[in-house]
Amino acid sequence: MPNPIKRIGVLTAGGDCPGINAVIRAVTKTAIYKYDLRVFGIEDGFQGLIENRIAPLSSLHVSGILTRGGTILGTNNRSNPAHCFVGNDEDGKPKFADVTPRCLDNINAHKLDALIVIGGDGSMGCAMPFVEAGVNCIGIPKTIDNDVAGTDLTFGFLTAVATATDALDRLHSTAMSHHRVMVCELMGRNAGWIALHSGIASGSDAILIPEIPYDIDRICTFVKNRMAHNRGFSIIACAEGARSTDGKQIVAHVDPTRPEPIRLGGVGQHIATQIQQRTNIEARTTVLGYIQRSGTPIANDRVLATAFGYHAIEQLMAGKQNRMVSMTNGTLCDVDIKSVAGKQRLIPMDEPLLATARAVKTCFGD
């Protein structure tokens, strides 16, 4: 029986990250060259689906984009069709509406047989109303945070770790020269994967992650002991979602109009201030921020992204419905997209890298 798939749409939702263009390229070229499909790019994630900003993608459009950061389609981390911000009411409170029917009309107008959704856990959640409406959605896990459930690895993560490691390496010389504590605040939301990997790779003295609440007194004792034994400095890799033993995280901003209203940030400065006040040792903060999400993907991310894009089309043409590409135990496979939507993959306490770091006397603040 011939496969009914003839026309597909592809969108990139959520935050940008290195490797998205490599996925778009692999999806488009595999679809066109191997299966003679028509591919349509949806601009700015689900916002483009809402506003009917959908246009054909050819092999020429994706030529030469493998090494480029960002996404040629644009992205958006504010749009959730099932809970779309449509303005404020008379009291200034945000109003929301379910615009899924509008999106379905646009999908039907372009005769799209399936959607390729490139995004993180939130984006997979945004795809659920379309899955429930009968649209075949194939997900590709994208985020520097590496926190998408159902896969051991997301593309973009390895490049972010390389960037963070380079920054931590560079902080060593300043910390050593001035005999200071240098706290580097890294991205990751509620998951500490970037901080853990880059912290180990850079030989950071302390690694603070959301999964292990920190005790500021223990951090201060650790730092003072290093100074007393002629170490002269300390490097702390700190995830933006790191929380103290009271369970509190430092929130930079709350925007009720966004699907994820809480924006974390500021914990690095908070910890540095606490250390300096309690120990009289100079402490400084570096917030790496969006640099981790920017720039050219490293070779491993280009390969992973290309493999993910190819596998997504292979799943689709094999007749599979509503799957997400996955890398599990080093093997490319796929999982039910419903089982991972909206779920975060945090660092488990039996993660081998935690024991590895502790064995070389890395402090986790606990």
Active site residues: 145
Count of other CB atoms within 10 angstroms of residue 300: 16
Q: Which of 188, 182, 139 is nearest to 163 (CA)?
A: 188
**For the chain, percent helix, then strand, then coil, each to nearest 5?**
40, 20, 40
Q: Which tokens sit at 17?
A: 């990250």
CA–CA dist 266, 254 (Å, integer): 13
CA–CA dist 359, 353 (Å, integer): 10
Q: What are the residue ranges of helices labelled H in the chain?
A: 20-29, 46-50, 100-109, 121-126, 128-132, 157-178, 193-202, 216-228, 267-279, 299-317, 337-340, 352-359
CA–CA dist 299, 21 (Å, integer): 13
Q: Indicate the pairing of strand 251-254 with strand 206-208.
A: unpaired
3-state SS of 92-159 is: CCEEEECCHHHHHHHHHHCCCCEEEEEECHHHHHHCHHHHHCCCEEEEEEECCCCCECCCCCCECHHH
Distances (CA, A) of 214 to 22, 26, 219, 220: 38, 42, 8, 11
CA–CA dist 223, 29 (Å, integer): 53
Distances (CA, A) of 129 to 80, 94, 170, 261: 10, 22, 46, 21
Q: Which tokens sit at 197?
A: 């990997």
CA 315 to chain centre: 23
Query: What is the crossing angle of helices 267-279 and 216-228, to 10°?
Result: 60
**In contact, 297 and 65? CB cutoff 8 Å:** no
